[in-house]
A and B are shown apart, each in its own frame.
Chain A
Amino acid sequence: MAKIGLIAWKELKTYFTSWIAYVLITGWLFIAGLLFLLVLQRPQEFQVSPIYNILVTIMLFIAPLVTMRLVAEERSSGSLEMLFTSPLTEWQVTLGKFFGAWAFIGILLLVTLHLPFFATHYGSIDTGPVWGSYIALLCVGAAFMSFGLFCSSLTESQVVAGFLTFGGLMISWMLNWPAQEMPTSDVAGFIGHWSVFSHFQDMMRGAVDTKDLIFFLSFTVLFLFATVRVLESRKWR
């Protein structure tokens, strides 16, 4: 665990020693603030869920930027081989990088906590959907980070990794469209079940379902497992 923690800490520090973290946080805060002000236009029917719904979509764009360099950069610079000469397993490297990226998403969420604070301080709101939304964003963040990490492990090019992540997440988003259009269709429901985007809506209403949590856990673990297999493949390719 200590080794995983060290790698995660190193990854997190890497974000904050470059411009990328600050630019992302600035844009994220600005959009969140703008959304908050938009929902404030209807003070008598104040709802926080639209803010977090849109933030999930924003995360779709942020995820490739956060994850594209995780393995691809090390592979292109040759430092990946050096990393594996140290007594680290593929799982430790993968989990370390994943937790580092996920911690960055956690920081993105942390800096938006002033919004529900304002809502409760200046008004009266049901905080259940707010906490449900944060749980949903953490789950979605974990799923996106693991998928992005997997895509980054497939290639040496950060750009290709970024496009793969974005394209994959877009397809996941599109899988949910038929289910949204036809909630009664079994086929559409089956297809939509495989979309990340069909599993957080209930959470944002304040209903945290164990089946959704297990879906996100499965999605995350699957792509971490696949990343480990890809990293292992360097031994025999």
Chain B
Amino acid sequence: MALNQPQDTTESPLAETDATGAEASLDNGHSPDDKEPGRGPSRRSTPDSNELIAMRDTPPLARWAGAFLVLAVLCAVAAVMVFGSIGRQSPWGWVCLGIGFIALASWFLGRRQEAQIVQQMGRDAHARQRILLGTNALTSVLLFLLLLVGINYIATRRHKIFDLTSNRVNSLSDQTYKVLQQLSGPVKLTNVYVPHDRSGQPDPAITTLLNAYKNASDKVQVEYVNAFADPGRFDTLQVSTSARQLMGGQALIIAQLENAGKNAKAGDTKAAANNKDRQEVTVADEQNVTTALMRLENPKPRTVYFLTGHGEATPDNPTGGISRAKAALEAQNIMVKNTSLATAKGVPADAGALIVVAPQVDLTAAEQKTLTTYMAGKGHLLLLLGPARVSMPHWKAVAKSLGIEVLDGFVFDTESEQPTIVRAAVSDPSQQPILRGVNGDVVFPAAAPLSIAKPPAGAPPPPGSATPVTLFQSSPQSQVVQPGQRPNGKYSSYVLAAAIDRGTPATPQSPEAPAMPAVEGARAVVVGNSYFVTDQFFELLGNGSFFTSAVNWVVGADKAIAIPPKPPVTNSITLTPESGRFIILLSLFALPLLSLFIGGIVWWNRR
């Protein structure tokens, strides 16, 4: 009591009452709050004597316990950030962790000491009630937080995206959603990449694309493998040789059925290449990834044959330079083989399509007849011809039998940066399915001009009554140049690539005539250029996608090219000097000053 006396005399009357009450309560063994239950502790303006003693005698650890806890949390956050941004080898992360643990231990010890002090002093019933209510409030907030975490967890797994953009650039196509819904099991999409900058991170565009798949389906999991940083994981992925060749320039995505991946044996590269439960995608866009998923569900490979025997470029020929084209086809589950009309005595029966790239000599008459007969039936042909040094009437005859005439010379497009390298834009994709799969302009170096042959008046319609459709053409400011001569001076737009589908239903002659049923017939694409598929030009703009789309269409895999590329939206603004000044005046001066002016009026009225 001697300690209390001088302090109590300097306090407020309320404090004096507290002190008196305390003395009274000490006399009969009860606390002051027990004595006067109607008085809330909030009305006590000063601490009582026990609290003053406790504050004076509180050890530093107990006094600074809260600060230690905050320090521990900050150190934990700092450690996570250091480990995340610099790496696990960083000593700073361990320093942060160490300090954090010491701070946490100090907080724990401080709390223990505080609890002991409280125990020694003995808390009254009201203090216990306060602790109880405080704990109750804290628990209710934590439980509410837990509830919200649960709601967010469900919302993350079951969510919907409202795409407000005009061309739905943020959404996957409806077909992709259908494919994802029909997946029979979990699929892992693994992005194998070679980092191009110091961050060591994959291409953000690919990350966005794969996250869109992950968000769209619970069955899709995404993994990223840095081929340099994680060579062990890279080896277990058993990337095919063709895909390895492409990896230097572009990313690789492996789509793999999860259960199948567990059964694969490490090191079995050949088995992996033929593994029907996995697909390799070397052009990372929605179309190719969705195609890969479709092929996982329906893994039967198609076979295409490259024609040999006339100096053509073939994937096996090291001087041909079309290894990237071959790799792109294999990545789409298309098997590539070679064949010769002379030795095979015709087109192999299992050929999904026959591909001819840059023949250097002409066909024989017999070979021409074989090809013409093949195409008169249900043949599938991709004919890539360039300006030839020798005359090749038989090749031209084959093209002409398809309604496409190959003209002499090459196209000289004065609107192109280099007139001999024609850059052709994709026209309306609704005109031809192939164009839906082309993701940019196509560059044709030294292209031969084509012409869509018109059937003579009164002549019977060709089989299937289909006429060729122009895929690409040069600008109207184009001329034809013969080798060793000057441009002919006649400007016109020349066809560079055309397609014909004799399986489509015939157009009714009149609106009353019934529509013909769809017929499976010949399909062919003729391009007056072969350089665009060479390794030098394959990855340029839309060249690669045009080639793979054309092959997919020719072999009848229309679904593989049914996802059109998203057309870019051009955001542009055109300001005259007057409108520019108006915007500057209004945005930068008039509106902010108007706000300030109104504020001034308000102040004037209220001063």
Contact = CB atoms under 8 A, between A and B. Distances in A.
Interface of A: 16-17, 19, 21-23, 25-27, 29-30, 32-34, 36-37, 40, 43-48, 111, 114-115, 118-119, 122-129, 131-132, 171, 174-175, 177-178, 181-185, 187-188, 191, 202, 205-211, 214-215, 218, 221-222, 225-226, 229, 232-234, 236-237
A177 to B, nearest CB: 7
B204 to A, nearest CB: 7
B545 to A, nearest CB: 24
21 contacts: A22-B595, A26-B596, A26-B599, A29-B592, A30-B588, A37-B584, A45-B571, A46-B572, A114-B587, A118-B587, A122-B573, A122-B579, A124-B573, A125-B573, A126-B166, A202-B170, A205-B170, A208-B163, A210-B160, A218-B152, A236-B133
Nearest to A232: B137
Contact of B140 (A187, A202, A229): A229
A22 B573 contact: no
B583 interface: yes
Interface string B563-607: 000000111111100011001101110011101101110110010
B159 interface: yes
A128 B245 CA distance: 40
A187 B84 contact: yes
A233 B591 contact: no
B85 interface: yes
A-B interface, 3 closest residue pairs, ranked by CB to CB distance from nearest? A22-B599, A123-B573, A33-B587
Interface of B: 41-42, 77, 80-81, 84-85, 129-130, 133-134, 137, 140-141, 144-145, 148, 151-152, 155-156, 159-167, 169-171, 199, 201-202, 204, 207, 215, 224, 569-575, 579-580, 583-584, 586-588, 591-593, 595-596, 598-600, 602-603, 606
A30 to B, nearest CB: 4
Chain B interface, >50% SS class: helix
Nearest to A211: B159
B164 A43 contact: no
A163 to B, nearest CB: 14
B92 to A, nearest CB: 15
Given A33-B588, A202-B170, A207-B170, A128 B42 contact: no
B256 to A, nearest CB: 18
Nearest to A229: B137
B207 A188 contact: no
Contacts of A218: 148, 151-152
A207 B164 contact: yes
Nearest to A182: B84
Contacts of A177: 81, 85
B571 A123 contact: yes
Given A33-B587, A43-B575, A215-B152, A206 B77 contact: no
A182 B572 contact: no
A128 B288 CA distance: 27
B577 to A, nearest CB: 12
Contacts of A209: 159-162, 215
Contact of B569 (A23, A30, A126): A126
A141 B77 CA distance: 25
Contacts of B207: 183-184
Given A202-B170, A229-B137, 4 more contacts: A25-B595, A34-B588, A183-B207, A184-B207
Nearest to A237: B42
A135 B406 CA distance: 57
A40 B586 CA distance: 15
Contacts of B170: 202, 205-207
A17 B574 CA distance: 41
Contact of B148 (A111, A202, A221): A221
A126 B165 contact: yes
Nearest to A43: B573
A226 B85 CA distance: 33
B77 A174 contact: yes
Contacts of B165: 126, 128-129, 205-207
Nearest to B570: A124
A16 B603 CA distance: 10
A111 B590 CA distance: 12
Contact of A36 (B171, B201, B587, B599): B587
Contacts of A226: 141
A229 B136 CA distance: 10
Given A33-B592, A122-B575, A218-B151, A128 B163 contact: yes
Contact of A211 (B156, B164, B580, B596): B156
Contacts of A210: 155, 159-162
B75 to A, nearest CB: 13
A6 B215 CA distance: 42
A22 B591 CA distance: 11
B86 to A, nearest CB: 10
Quick one: which of A32, A123, A191, A236 has the most chain B CB within 10 A? Answer: A236
B602 to A, nearest CB: 7
B155 A229 contact: no
B159 A26 contact: no
B144 A222 contact: yes
A122 B574 contact: yes
Contacts of A122: 573-575, 579, 583
Given A178-B81, A225-B141, A215 B155 contact: yes
Nearest to A118: B583
Nearest to A120: B573
A178 B85 contact: yes
Residue among B160, B169, B170, B570 with most chain A CB within 10 A:
B170
B603 A19 contact: yes
Nearest to A27: B592
B148 A40 contact: no
A123 B572 contact: yes
Contact of A174 (B81, B224, B569, B574): B81
Contacts of A48: 571
Nearest to B191: A184
A137 B171 CA distance: 22
B570 to A, nearest CB: 7
A37 B575 CA distance: 12
A1 B507 CA distance: 66
B199 A181 contact: yes
B155 A211 contact: yes
Contact of B573 (A29, A40, A111): A40
Contacts of A45: 571-572
A225 B138 CA distance: 11
B203 to A, nearest CB: 10
A171 to B, nearest CB: 7
Nearest to B199: A181
Contacts of B156: 211
A17 B129 CA distance: 43
B152 A233 contact: no
A208 to B, nearest CB: 4
Nearest to B211: A183
Contacts of B596: 22-23, 26
Given A19-B603, A229-B140, A184 B224 contact: yes
B152 A214 contact: yes
A229 B140 CA distance: 9
B588 to A, nearest CB: 4
Contacts of B134: 233, 236
B592 to A, nearest CB: 4
Given A30-B592, A174-B77, A236-B129, A181 B152 contact: no
Contacts of A46: 571-573
A206 B593 CA distance: 32
